[in-house]
Structure 1
Amino acid sequence: MARRGTARTGLAALLAVPLLLSACGGGSGGGTTSGDSGTLRVLDYYNSDPNATLWNAAIEACGTEIGVEIDREAVPGETLIQKVLQQSSSRTLPDVLMLDNPDVQQIAESGALAPLDDLGVDSTGVAPGVLEASTYEGQLYALQPVTNTIALFYNKTILEQAGITPPTTWDELKTTAAALTQGDQYGFAMSNINTYEGTWQFLPFMWSNGGDERDIATSETAEALQLVKDLMEAGSLSQSSVTWSQADVADQFSAGNAAMMINGPWNFGTLDAVEGLEYGIVPIPAPTAGGAVVSPFGGEAWAVPQTGDEEKMQKAADLVQCLNKDETQIEVSVATGTVPTKPELADEVVAQNPNLAAFAEQVPDLRARTGQLGPEWPAAATKIYTAVQNALVGGMTPEDALRQAQDG
């Protein structure tokens, strides 16, 4: 999911030296130590339920299907990359590695991963934007079975009592948010925090208006930032949003302090636990009527590290293929509130969980955060949330805030 966002500056450089050493041996007798030939070591960060139990079952089932035993290790998300660094240095990389999708290109750049096409992995039917996130210099290095993104949640009771329908354009968003703001209730909530979460929530406004992370000092991005600033200055969006994480935004919405919010499907459990809360979900409003909404996507991809054991690398590729088959995508999507990366599977998933409709319809147009800049994305993400903060807190105009961040 997109809630994680720790910086990994210089990751490729840190990995490069030990990986060059580990790749020298080649064949089953050299490279990293991978253990029993009939066992695949798997590393991921699914260490809490429902993901922990669900993915363990899926991985074990795929292990049985391809005829191997599974030795799985799950670590906290914030420690995964450090674990990979340690394993790279000691030449004990796992056979199968799960990565947050924005990390794939950085790890691939270091030489740690094997191209999946060379191992016969079939990615047919996966949305182009999803494949782009796991592609480096024309080679696919990981495959992602499910994804998530963000949309506009609204409190059905509040909007119905006000006789208001969910907004579909920026102008409607400003009008609707103003009309729903009264007392302690804000009309709209989103995270504008100075972390990658803040960037993640701003991207649909920036991208849908034609903004580009390669140069944020443009009129298109300034107009998107002006929209957020207008909402705050009108009192429709709390000034505290500059310190709110996405979880904080969900708490505000759950408590009835916001009539609408931008957030993701990972909040279903939190929202559904609130007695009497009825909510709907629609796409984030577009700049103008009928305009396309372009959102980022989250989720994890599965890769095959360069262990030097060709036989086990092929088995690892078979496991990655199995984890991405249609049946697995559907089962995991329904169980975890995510959506399949294959658009053709959306209808079956939405039939089982209608709340996923607004997310599933975005999959064909989802954009990879690393699509334009690859491993340089973290620097751009920092510039974006810095500009948002300077415009909302520092009193700068969107144009000045974006120009300063871009030049800095």
Structure 2
Amino acid sequence: MAQRRAFLSRTTLTVALALLAPLSLSACGSNTGSSGGGAGTLRVMDAYVDQPDKQVYAKVLDACGQRNGVKIEREAVPGASLISKVLQQASSRTLPDVLMLDNPDLQQIAAAGALAPLGDFGLSADGYAKGVVDASTYQGKLYGLQPVTNTIGLFYNKDMLDRAGIEPPTTWGELTSAAKKLTSGKRYGIAFSAPATREATWQFLPFMWSNGGNEKNIATPEVAQALQLWVDLVKNGSASKSVVNWGQADVNDQFKAGNAAMMINGPWQFPVLDEEKGLHYGVVQIPVRKAGGAPVVPLGGETWTVPRTGNAQRQAKAAKVVACLNSDKNQLSLAAERQTVPTKTALMDKFAAEQPRMKAFIQQVRDARARTGELGKDWPKAATRIYTAIQTALTHGATPAQALKQAQDG
């Protein structure tokens, strides 16, 4: 999922999945809501309730339906309610024919038996970025295909950096120095998102992963070094103490208003930033600890799945719609319209040439990592531990090592 929206809390999701677990696969495979009749109409459920995404996907879904001889009945559900509705529908056997999921949610929903493996319909993820495939795979089987993805980078105000004689930083040392030099009056050198939510985890992962940290055990020197960077930026005044309350939209507001010379954020902010006349900005990859290193970033975005509805004919048609959404043409058009990155590696160079400001994101996506790649359906617990440690270090004065150990042991 693009991190522009907040989905159901992972605590709620874990509880709901525990309640769903006793359901057998046969129960999920007898869907009274979608199994009646032939495949002339398919029910589709996604979370694109806001424009322009809502209209963008309405258009492409209708076109894919027409191409495959079916009418699309689409329901857009607010992100915060999507998973709870999916679980309720799985329990009541009324799942839609095509279902969009935030990619970190897929493995948990697949583990509950609610999704059909796409290999059953002859679909594969050959040619997709590895991290994208990992995110949509559970126990060796592919359950989703994701047409576009996103990640985060370092935005910078070109005019502010030019006046200060500073090049966009590529290392932690350069980032620290630049942020300190750019801090003046009410303007901070850098802004990032560190609230007690998974937005903080999402923003912290590039620093943690690029330094060799791992979510299996966050109480390590590598993760402590990454967290120390954030602590130092706040302590020396280069970043606001309010980062512990800022979501990514708040960070973008600070940057847009000129209150931050740099920020960590994603390409979904381009339309908002472009509204500000006179704002000249650029984007580079996330800085790494040592020169020459490559940033390891998390993959966002949504994956499209075929729920177990108990109707083979409808499922086969649903799989064709999922394949259509992932065609080369649709990957490129969706990426351009939604400020995202195509997930097929063969399309990335073409897209970078057409959309040069996406270059930094495309470079990082090639080797980006799925958040569920290491822990699978247990990822949400690790995500909570990470943002808890960040909060403890930034607000309660604990050292990064202490905060991380406390979170890991808790």
**TM-score calculated relative to the size of structure 2:** 0.96
Q: Which of residues 142, 145, 152 in structure 1 aligns to 2:144?
A: 142
Match of 1:13 in 2: 18
- State, as a whole percentage, how many aligned pairs show the same letter: 58
Change (3 A) 1:362 1:233: same
Q: Deviation per CA, 1:74-104, whole angstroms, max 9, x where unpaired?
A: 1111111121122222211111000000000
2:17/2:87 contact within 8 Å kept? no
Q: Which of residues 172, 182, 185 in structure 2 aligns to 1:180?
A: 182
Change (3 A) 1:23 1:199: closer
Q: Which of residues 96, 115, 122 in structure 2 aligns to 1:94?
A: 96
In the alignment, is residue 376 of structure 1 matched against residue 378 of structure 2? yes
2:135/2:373 contact within 8 Å kept? yes
**TM-score calculated relative to the size of structure 1:** 0.96
* More divergent stretch after superposition (396-405 vs 87-96): 87-96
Query: How far apart, in 2, do the equivalents of 1:43 and 1:18 lie?
Result: 22
2:103/2:301 contact within 8 Å kept? yes
Match of 1:233 in 2: 235
Query: How far apart, in 2, do the equivalents of 1:338 and 1:19 lie?
Result: 37
1:44/1:75 contact within 8 Å kept? yes
Match of 1:394 in 2: 396
Match of 1:171 in 2: 173
Query: How far apart, in 2, do the equivalents of 1:220 and 1:67 lie?
Result: 54
Aligned-pair CA distance for 1:348: 2.4
Matches within 5 A, 1:244-393: 244-393=246-395
Match of 2:73 in 1: 71
2:200/2:387 contact within 8 Å kept? yes
* More divergent stretch after superposition (7-16 vs 365-374): 7-16
Aligned-pair CA distance for 1:31: 6.1
Aligned-pair CA distance for 1:215: 0.2
* More divergent stretch after superposition (168-177 vs 64-73): 64-73
Match of 2:34 in 1: 33
Q: Any unmatched runs of 5+ in structure 2?
A: none
1:34/1:95 contact within 8 Å kept? no
Q: Any unmatched runs of 5+ in structure 1?
A: none
Query: How far apart, in 2, do the equivalents of 1:331 and 1:15 lie?
Result: 37
1:122/1:321 contact within 8 Å kept? no
Aligned-pair CA distance for 1:21: 5.4
Q: Deviation per CA, 1:95-147, whole angstroms, max 9, x where unpaired?
A: 10000000000000000000011211131211011110111111111110000
Q: Which of residues 219, 225, 231 in structure 2 aligns to 1:223?
A: 225
Aligned-pair CA distance for 1:73: 0.9
Match of 2:131 in 1: 129
Query: How far apart, in 2, do the equivalents of 1:261 and 1:293 lie?
Result: 16
2:28/2:90 contact within 8 Å kept? no
Change (3 A) 1:355 1:364: same
Aligned-pair CA distance for 1:36: 4.0
2:118/2:143 contact within 8 Å kept? yes
Root mean square deviation of aligned Cα:
1.3
Query: How far apart, in 1, do the equivalents of 2:28 and 2:165 lie?
Result: 64
Query: How far apart, in 1, do the equivalents of 2:28 and 2:256 lie?
Result: 51
* More divergent stretch after superposition (30-39 vs 42-51): 30-39
1:19/1:88 contact within 8 Å kept? no
Q: How many residues align?
A: 404
SS at match of 2:366: helix
SS at match of 1:187: strand
